[in-house]
Structure 1
Amino acid sequence: MTSARPQAAQRSRLRLVVLQALVFSLFATLFVRLYYLQVVSGDQYTAQAAAQSVREIVVQPQRGLIVDDQGRPLVTNRTSWVVSVDRTVVDKMTDGVRAKLVERLGRVVGERARRIEKQLVTCGEEGSVSGLCWNGSPFQAVPVAHDVPQSVALRILEQPEDFPAVVVDQQTVRSYPEPFGINLAHVLGYLSPITEEEYDTAQTDGDRSVNGASAVGRAGVEKQYDRWLRGMPGYRSVAVDSMGRVLGDDGEVESQPGDTLVTSIDAKVQGVVETQLEEAIAVARATRDTVTGKNYVADSGAVVVLEADTGRVVAMASQPTYDPGLWVGGITKKQLARLYSEAAGTPLLGRATQGQFAPGSTWKPFMTAGALSNGYSMDTMLNCSSFLSVGNRDFKNYESGAYGYISFAKALEVSCNTFFYRVGLDYWQRYGSDVADVDARDPLVEEAKKFGFGRETGIDLPGEASGRIADRTWKRAYFESQKDYYCDLAAEPQTADTSDFVYLFAREFCAEGYAYRAGDAVNFAIGQGDTIVTPLQLARAYAAIANGGTLYAPRIGKAVVSSDGTVIREIAPKKVGQVKVPDGVFGYIDDALKGVTRQGTMAWRMVGFPLDEVEIRSKTGSAEVYGKQSTSWVASYSEDYVVVMMISQGGTGSGTSGPAVRAIWESLYGVTGEEVRSSDAAIPGVTPPQGLPTFRRDGSILPPATEKR
């Protein structure tokens, strides 16, 4: 018994020693770890802790101005009351409290609670909706209502206990001063929030000029010159606690304002152009079409005014149009649907650069250049008969009667179709009577391409249409793309839903839709058939006639100027081609187009205009479109400008567009009655200024010096 006790005591002491050793080793390990964290790695972890307690908030830059050639503001910035929600606070609320807050806020700012909740979701997370989700920093308050009335903003500010986590401040948004009442929407464009894909691309490319909360240009010069206009964002560092609550500012890097874009647009001329286009459309809609027995639909229209020697755009208008201010603060689905609606006339489509129409008789000067460059002479006389039989069809004159044998000049003056039919038919018979020969030569097609038709002009606006030259290559490609559809239709029994015309067309197209027949050639010669152009393409081509053959890429941008007034970049006219014709051809066409204005199809609209002092060349056109009323065209130019006007389903050229074109010329040169008063011209000095506006340090902008003619 006595021997067992010492053994038990010895075991107890051994256990105690082991326990003490374990405790000591644990303390030693803890001490070593603390020494490592606090001494060896102390600086590293201190820096990490500081970084976790400081967050960056983006300070959006003020976007650059857009001004006209005189320095008049076309797009500026204004302050707007914006209501935002701080997610670092609202996310810690219980579901019930949060729902009541969002519901209360929605009632005050006029937004649905469900929409506000969608705006608070980070893009890319579950439940995010493109266009509504938040792309910005999680530590930045999310804007949920823009342009709220000041009374609403003050109510929220004065009742913080009812609106916890709600931030109200003033931010800059786009503003449209509308000098001379102008709209200019299709030229200026608009902004909308950056998308996830755009933001990710910018991050990959290292582009720090955009961030998750940026608004970027979507159309017009806002998009074309976005990288200059957007500026560089700043960053404000804020200290936050472990719960993400902001404790205070920790430093700031100021944002850099965007640069100013000086355009070649003249607001005063633009105002005249827009007014004349709107009034011409209104008059057309009140005028009876003798062909259909109904008033003209006049569903759209466009006007382009260019500098003849540089290709700069002085004015450009399209109808129907829209208010670019719709995008400020976010556009609704209903508003967006209307802008894309065909019933509303698709207002987003800029007819001057994106609308494509048959040119009609405005095409004939280019066909004249082609003919005089390929075997015909200025002494050529062809029969201007009342019709020309081609195959089993009679092709008739539209604007003119029968004049017998006349010259090219007279054919342009009276707009004789059958004269040009004969030219087109002659080339077809000489070079292309094999209807399946895609490579057959066609001098008129070649000339149209030299004048830049069938491809974009290269204007500094996004989304330009290319137009179409309906030659043999195009017809073959179109046949290949559509033959299966029409052959299947032709093979089916005719139903009550399919008209005789459609069924007959399907059978003919299936059999020989590739064939480039004589009828195609004669239609091409007068700007009919499947050939289409944009008003800008036509204006650029007439400028080439005016300036001796130079094709320019039209330009709206004139210069980029920094916020301190320094000229960063001057945007020079860009020559993109040269139309070469035999000596005297341009002069011959020029004289013929003077005749159109003096005694031809435009003469009755120019009675009393002082043509001896201001010589205007012009060409009218009335393009026939199957199933629609004719398209009204007037293309005209002087030694300084080109003015082209188009009204779709608007009637004859001079009949509908003539008075408006005359009024535009009167404003450009200061014509009142039969008197020319240069001092009354829309642009000081009559022609656009060569210099730039003066940007003063106080922010004011002075017009450039007036140059004498």
Structure 2
Amino acid sequence: MAASTAQGASHRSRLRLIVIQTLVFSLLATLGARLYYLQVISGEEYQGQAASQSVREIVVQPQRGLIVDAMGRPLVTNRLTWVVSLDRTLLGRMSDEDRVELLRRTGRAIDMRPRRIEARLLLCGDEGAVAGTCWNGSPYQPVPVAQDVGEAAALRILEQPEDFPGVVAERQTVRQYPAPYGINAAHVLGYLSPITSEELDAAELSGDSSVNGASVVGRAGVEKEYDQWLRGQPGYQQVAVDSKGRVRDDVSDLEAQPGDTLVTSIDAQVQGVVEAQLAKMIQTQRATRDPVTGRNFEADSGAAVVMEASTGRIVAMASQPTYDPSVWVGGITDQQLTRLYSEAAGTPLLARSFQGQFAPGSTWKPFMTVGALTNGYSPDTILGCPSAVQVGNRPFHNHESGAYGSIDFARALEVSCNTFFYQVGMHFWQTLGSDPDDVDAKDPLVEEAENFGFGEQTGIDLPGEASGRVADRHWKRDYYESMKDYYCDLADAPQDEKTSDFVYKFAGEFCVEGWKYKLPDAVNFSIGQGDTIVTPLQLARGYAAIANGGTLWQPRVGKAIVSPDGEVIREIEPQKERDLGIPKSVLDYVDQALQGVSTRGTMAWKLGGFPIDQVKIRAKTGSAEVYGKQSTGWVASYTEDYVVVMMISQGGTGSGSTGEGIRAIWEALYGVDGEQVDPADAAIPGVTPPASLPIFGEDGSILPPARDKD
């Protein structure tokens, strides 16, 4: 029985062994089959995936396109500069001690604090990263930490690689501003800054491959408006890296495509004259005593526009205060940025020419004349021009209380008679809208202002344009609804030392009936005072419509897009907004009256000796009163070819503050020297802007346009 038991146990042991052997062989067979599948059947696929994990893509930034003027002169180009970059992946493999020492050594070489270098190496999105300083590009390519590095420092890094592991010094292109004729043109040209994470995400969603995390994009001016053409197409370099992320070899290259060239309608020589005259007039007024306040004029800002009358193309446009556009190249400091937005510095980033909004004063009167002559008045209408007109319980005066007797519209424009136009405004209010609560009452003067494009953007190809404001009945009702709580609270509170008597009284009246469009509102509107505001560009466009026979154009700075090899990709044609439908007889009448302003009216004293018989300048001066400030001075002028507008905030009378500058610009445009006119001396060859584009040579040269032979 014992033997039988032993045999049973032995049998069970053999069974267990067989089961274990079978299990082991099954596992080995499964493993072998899996290995065969991975290495033989799917080997190529996994080999490709493994290879792709060792390949990294480095972005090669394209050279940004040029910006040139109408004659082919460069306004914005690119220059080579030494840029020092650091390899983040290699730094990440260093010990803390070695990393600190490398950053200290690199900082000494490029005159930069190690802490600033560290801040630039942080990836945007990492803890402690600062927008505008952190790196928004690929983590696998060297991160630029300094540009415009001295050549000696760059060569030291290149010649001593053992002392600067992971530090790269190379030549790269950055924006340059050649400034032909000493121009600035910052508000027209604009500036660049690094792309934001939000913009990059939006580009990826839209499939836009022209930007990447290391791109810089246009932020203002034509740099922003034509950014998609100027930016070019990035290239990509694929490199093989080891397990530590270090580059071992180049795999493939896709070359970057340079950006296209933007040809503008700006003429650099005219731009230089306009900028110089605007700055000169401002400086002159700051040294001139204001007879009203008894102190010098503040002349805190100004703008000037030169427009081609028949097309709306911008020939020159200047704003003061301005800034150096190169301040953005390589990154702007907090101190520099604060100044650009500072009110104490005059907010230099604000382009007064198309973003600044000012009361137009008497430059408004030609549009009011058109409105009157197309709504019941005639050139034969005679009205008095007394020193003052009583409106309710308040007298409304002429400038300096002058009186000119009974006159017509032409003479009223020549001497800029306020009281003449007060009567026109009063007439329309009394006959068509005497109910101050009727927001839909007809007002021919308001309708004509809107017909000329005031109260709406001009559509210029520059971002951030202001729309101005036509202060009609609807606007006044809307403004009351938005501000009544503020003024009612102010009126209900006891008057404090910070609130003037005027403001306190105004708050009380506004709270009670601030929505009503009263007779004083209509009177102020008729002479460009009150709450109506315009941009200098809007005013120039309105005068261009008078000059060209009644066509309102959308102003344009861009003229053409040209590829890097000189092929014209797109011509940017002038865009007609609309025909104003004004009778030719009315426009001719206003045109003749504005000639009288230059020969015997308020602008005549600034044009003495000017060959007005050869260069027929039409003009209108304006002095807009602003509560708590000195007057804003305007001159709007034109010929058959151009419109020239200049204004100075807190500069005094129109002709007094800008008249000499306006004259100097006209002299440059037509080649005037004293009483002589020589077209050969004109700033633009042939006097008027060329219709054709600059000539782009195969060698990359840009030559002036070919002029048509007469």
Query: What does the per-residue CA deviation read over 1:601-626, in whole Å, with 9 as the maximum and x for residues that have no partner?
Result: 11011011111111100011111111
State the distance in 1 between where 2:429 and 2:111 align: 67
Aligned to 2:447, the other structure's residue is in SS state helix
Alpha-carbon distance, 1:432 to partner: 1.3
Aligned to 1:596: 597
8 Å CA contact 1:453, 1:469 repeated in 2: yes
Aligned to 2:103: 102
Query: What does the per-residue CA deviation read over 1:1-36, in whole Å, with 9 as the maximum and x for residues that have no partner?
Result: 766766665555555444433332332222111101
Alpha-carbon distance, 1:586 to partner: 0.5
State the distance in 1 between where 2:284 and 2:709 align: 38
Aligned to 1:489, the other structure's residue is in SS state helix
Aligned to 1:133: 134
State the distance in 1 between where 2:605 and 2:171 align: 57
The 5 A counterparts of 1:157-556 are 157-398=158-399, 401-556=402-557
State the distance in 1 between where 2:655 and 2:500 align: 36
Alpha-carbon distance, 1:123 to partner: 2.1
State the distance in 2 between where 1:10 and 1:296 align: 119
Aligned to 1:74: 75
Which has the larger displacement, 139-148 or 114-123? 114-123
Alpha-carbon distance, 1:319 to partner: 0.5
Aligned to 1:293, the other structure's residue is in SS state coil
| Amino acid in the other structure paired with 2:624 | A
Q: TM-score, normalised by structure 2?
A: 0.98
Aligned to 1:682: 683
8 Å CA contact 1:685, 1:707 repeated in 2: no
Alpha-carbon distance, 1:112 to partner: 3.3
8 Å CA contact 2:536, 2:647 repeated in 1: yes
Aligned to 1:112: 113
Query: What does the per-residue CA deviation read over 1:391-416, in whole Å, with 9 as the maximum and x for residues that have no partner?
Result: 11111111671001001000000111
State the distance in 2 between where 1:502 and 1:484 align: 15
State the distance in 2 between where 1:321 and 1:382 align: 45
State the distance in 2 between where 1:518 and 1:50 align: 82
Which has the larger displacement, 439-448 or 134-143? 134-143
Query: What does the per-residue CA deviation read over 1:528-547, in whole Å, with 9 as the maximum and x for residues that have no partner?
Result: 11100000000000000000
State the distance in 2 between where 1:231 and 1:605 align: 49
Alpha-carbon distance, 1:501 to partner: 2.5
Over 3 Å counting, the alpha-carbon distance change for 1:485 and 1:595 in structure 2 is: same
Alpha-carbon distance, 1:478 to partner: 0.6
The 5 A counterparts of 1:695-706 are 695-706=696-707
State the distance in 2 between where 1:137 and 1:7 align: 72
| Amino acid in the other structure paired with 1:647 | I
Aligned to 1:92: 93
8 Å CA contact 2:549, 2:584 repeated in 1: no
| Amino acid in the other structure paired with 2:442 | R
Query: What does the per-residue CA deviation read over 1:55-102, in whole Å, with 9 as the maximum and x for residues that have no partner?
Result: 211111111100000000000011111111111111122233223322
Aligned to 2:564: 563
Alpha-carbon distance, 1:40 to partner: 1.7
Which has the larger displacement, 5-14 or 262-271? 5-14
Alpha-carbon distance, 1:116 to partner: 2.3
State the distance in 1 between where 2:708 and 2:532 align: 42
8 Å CA contact 2:270, 2:683 repeated in 1: yes
| Amino acid in the other structure paired with 2:341 | Y
8 Å CA contact 2:187, 2:322 repeated in 1: yes
State the distance in 1 between where 2:196 and 2:487 align: 41
State the distance in 1 between where 2:79 and 2:184 align: 18
Query: What does the per-residue CA deviation read over 1:370-426, in whole Å, with 9 as the maximum and x for residues that have no partner?
Result: 000011000001100000110111111116710010010000001111000110011
State the distance in 1 between where 2:401 and 2:665 align: 26
Aligned to 1:698, the other structure's residue is in SS state coil
Query: What does the per-residue CA deviation read over 1:182-235, in whole Å, with 9 as the maximum and x for residues that have no partner?
Result: 000000001111100100011010001111111100000000000011111111
8 Å CA contact 1:302, 1:647 repeated in 2: yes
| Amino acid in the other structure paired with 1:697 | E
State the distance in 1 between where 2:415 and 2:113 align: 63
Aligned to 2:306, the other structure's residue is in SS state strand
8 Å CA contact 2:93, 2:244 repeated in 1: no
| Amino acid in the other structure paired with 1:123 | C
State the distance in 2 between where 1:63 and 1:569 align: 18
Aligned to 1:106, the other structure's residue is in SS state helix
RMSD: 1.5
8 Å CA contact 2:540, 2:636 repeated in 1: yes
| Amino acid in the other structure paired with 2:573 | A
Aligned to 1:578: 579
Aligned to 2:144, the other structure's residue is in SS state strand
State the distance in 2 between where 1:104 and 1:331 align: 24
| Amino acid in the other structure paired with 1:299 | D
Q: Structure 1 unaligned segments of length 5 or more: list them.
A: none
Aligned to 1:150: 151
Over 3 Å counting, the alpha-carbon distance change for 1:680 and 1:288 in structure 2 is: same
Query: What does the per-residue CA deviation read over 1:449-475, in whole Å, with 9 as the maximum and x for residues that have no partner?
Result: 000000000000000000001111111
Aligned to 2:399, the other structure's residue is in SS state coil
Which has the larger displacement, 462-471 or 247-256? 247-256
| Amino acid in the other structure paired with 1:256 | Q
| Amino acid in the other structure paired with 2:405 | G
State the distance in 2 between where 1:495 and 1:302 align: 37
| Amino acid in the other structure paired with 1:203 | E
Q: Structure 2 unaligned segments of length 5 or more: list them.
A: none
8 Å CA contact 2:266, 2:315 repeated in 1: yes
8 Å CA contact 1:399, 1:416 repeated in 2: no
